[in-house]
Amino acid sequence: MASLAWMDACDPTAWPAKGEAEAVSTEEVDEFRREKADECQLYLDNVSKWEAFVLDARFGIRVRVGMESVSWLKKKKTWA
């Protein structure tokens, strides 16, 4: 779920669009991206608190990289 939220935040085709006559403001796009980044962060935080299991190292690395990516986007957009 975190991956899907991240893809929505980064994929311009998933961003809000109104049609040819009306343009979407950058504020609306930024708000959508911020919501998706927050959703991604929420899922990653939940996964990071799961109990340990055999493949913990593999998933731990992926979760950590995901958390760092969300943090990077938030700092870049000054949402942090």
Position 21 pLDDT exceeds 70: no
Amino acid at 37: A
Residues 6+ apart with CB under 8 A from 43: 1, 2, 5
Sorting pLDDT into bands at 50, 70 and 90, what band is 7?
A: very high
Q: How far apart are CA 34 and CA 56, in angstroms?
A: 29
Whole-number Cα distances in Å, 74 to 38, 43, 79:
9, 16, 5
Enumerate the domain spans of the chain: 2-76
Give the residue-averaged pLDDT of 43-57: 78
Q: How far apart are CA 9 and CA 51, in angstroms?
A: 28
Percent of the chain with pLDDT over 90: 57
- What is the pTM (predicted TM-score) of this model? 0.83
